[in-house]
Amino acid sequence: MIPFNIPAVTGKELSYIQEAISNKKICGDGPFTKKVAEWIEDYIPTKRALLTTSCTHALEMTAMLADIHPGDEVIMPSFTFISTANAFVLRGAKIVFVDIRPDTLNLDESLIESAITSKTKAIVPVHYAGVSCEMDSIMDLAKKNGLLVIEDAAQGVMSTYKGRALGSIGHMGCYSFHETKNFTCGEGGALLLNEESFVSRAEIIREKGTNRSRFFRGQVDKYSWVDIGSSYLPSELNAAYLYAQFDQAQTINDDRIASWNDYYAGLKELEQQERIDLPTVPVHCKHNAHIFYIKTKDLSERTRLLRYLNENGVGAAFHYVPLHSTSVGLKHGLFHREDRYTTQESDRLIRLPMYYRLTKDQIGRVIDMIYSFYAVSTANQFRTGVGLG
Ligand SMILES: *Cc1c(COP(=O)(O)O)cnc(C)c1O
């Protein structure tokens, strides 16, 4: 059995959690919360990183910071996780879904401008599989039209676009540390504030609408209710676990990239034979191997291959059901123009097992199984391609 995902463990998690317990400080914003935030601020970098209880919550915070009100419109892909939309729907926004590009499965930047109206407030690019959207075009459009750009970089930690880290390019960016993501603490996230002007309000929103952060810094002599907000600050125990991952961030990233490259090299032949499509990574994007996916001919072939892999012990999985195909999606949003690629490409997609310390032998078995499904002999070219000998 090769599972789809195993949450990363680097070995220091327990000792850091023990340290947090010994500190007698396990609520949020203790030493480990600060260490992780500092890592993000230094490495990414961003003006300010706030650890949150999830990426969903980081997105909810951005909707408050963007002052989204009922009737406002927010542009995003339909090929994304529910939280991307929900965060804005909770504030009364209407979601305008724009089609994706068939190569990267990211928002098609050339279609965004025609979706902008006088009610549009924000564009939310989602960096699928940790591969960047075309951020230069998106930032130019936003500037021209006075819009905010909120990056859903849940999958994009340590990926870059023209050398700039995902999450640090828009006005705000959101990361996820859910157990399915590259760096994890089970449930967790971060909000990246790339403009100073959002920082003080974001601290308040994260602390239940109070100015408690300023109080603890001695900047006010009592704390009170000053804005809307919620409880978006994670526990020190989660932050301690997460710090053990960021301690080893480069190791985790390198290991995943090596696995991704092995899949790619091993499956190249099948793509050349036009049986499947492999992921596209534009030359100016550096990805983080969050997902390795292949695309089959169509939905029916996808269903058969998925069943074949699952029956043979490979935890392969499809991905998003487009949001506009659900009744909630239609109630709160509309698809701008034609759905040319969103449904078609999501129907063809299969994600293969991908996690820290996936072995070459496991990758080889998955690849062999895919070749055998297509009844193409793999024995020679794959094993030399991936170096199993
Ligand atoms: C995982 C994910 C989320 C949600 O992250 P949580 O931390 O689980 O709330 C949001 N958007 C995208 C694109 C994701 O992949």
Where in the sequence is the domain holding 272, given as residue range(s)? 249-382
Assigned domain for 4 exists: no
Eight-state DSSP code of residue 211 = -
CATH of the domain at 256: 3.90.1150.10
Evaluate: CB of 62 within 6 angstroms of ligand 1: no
Residue nearest ligand 1's atom 2 by CA: 154
Which atom from ligand 1 is nearest to the alpha carbon of 57? 9
If one counts the domains in the chain, the total is 2
Q: Cα of 46 to ligand 1 centre, how many Å?
A: 20
256 and 243 within one domain? no
225 and 144 within one domain? yes
Which atom from ligand 1 is nearest to the alpha carbon of 126? 13
| Final residue belonging to a domain, choices 247, 266, 292 | 247
**What is the distance between the alpha carbons of residues 8 and 259, in angstroms, rounded to a whole number?**
14
pTM assigned to the model = 0.96
From first to last of its 389 residues, the chain has per-residue pLDDT tens of 999 999 999 999 999 999 999 999 899 999 999 999 999 999 999 999 999 999 999 999 999 999 999 999 999 999 999 999 999 999 999 999 999 999 999 999 999 999 999 999 999 999 999 999 999 999 999 999 999 999 999 999 999 999 999 999 999 999 999 999 999 999 999 999 999 999 999 999 999 999 998 888 899 888 899 999 999 999 999 999 999 999 999 999 999 999 999 999 999 999 999 999 999 999 999 999 999 999 999 999 999 999 999 999 999 999 999 999 999 999 999 999 999 999 999 999 999 999 999 999 999 999 999 999 998 755 544 544 444 43
Evaluate: CB of 320 within 6 angstroms of ligand 1: no
Q: Cα of 372 to ligand 1 centre, how many Å?
A: 34
Count of CB atoms situated within 10 Å of the CB of 100 = 27
Assigned domain for 110 exists: yes
Percent helix, strand, coil in the chain, to 5, is: 40, 15, 40
Assigned domain for 8 exists: no
Residue whose CB lies within 8 A of the most ligand 1 atoms, among 55, 95, 151, for a mutation test: 55
Evaluate: CB of 175 within 6 angstroms of ligand 1: no
Evaluate: CB of 178 within 6 angstroms of ligand 1: yes
102 and 134 within one domain? yes
200 and 260 within one domain? no
| Final residue belonging to a domain, choices 220, 247, 274 | 247
Evaluate: CB of 50 within 6 angstroms of ligand 1: no
**What is the distance between the alpha carbons of residues 294 and 299, in angstroms, rounded to a whole number?**
13
Q: What is the pLDDT of residue 376?
A: 73
Residue nearest ligand 1's atom 5 by CA: 55
335 and 285 within one domain? yes
Q: What is the pLDDT of residue 380?
A: 44
100 and 27 within one domain? yes
Evaluate: CB of 322 within 6 angstroms of ligand 1: no
314 and 184 within one domain? no
- Residues 200, 204, 205, 206, CA torsion sign: positive
Assigned domain for 5 exists: no
Assigned domain for 20 exists: yes
Residue whose CB lies within 8 A of the most ligand 1 atoms, among 83, 107, 133, for a mutation test: 83
Evaluate: CB of 154 within 6 angstroms of ligand 1: yes
Residue nearest ligand 1's atom 6 by CA: 55
Q: Cα of 85 to ligand 1 centre, how many Å?
A: 11
116 and 92 within one domain? yes
**What is the distance between the alpha carbons of residues 266 and 269, in angstroms, rounded to a whole number?**
7
DSSP of 308-335, one letter per residue? HHHHTTB--B--PPPGGGSHHHHHHEEE
143 and 38 within one domain? yes
| Final residue belonging to a domain, choices 198, 220, 247 | 247
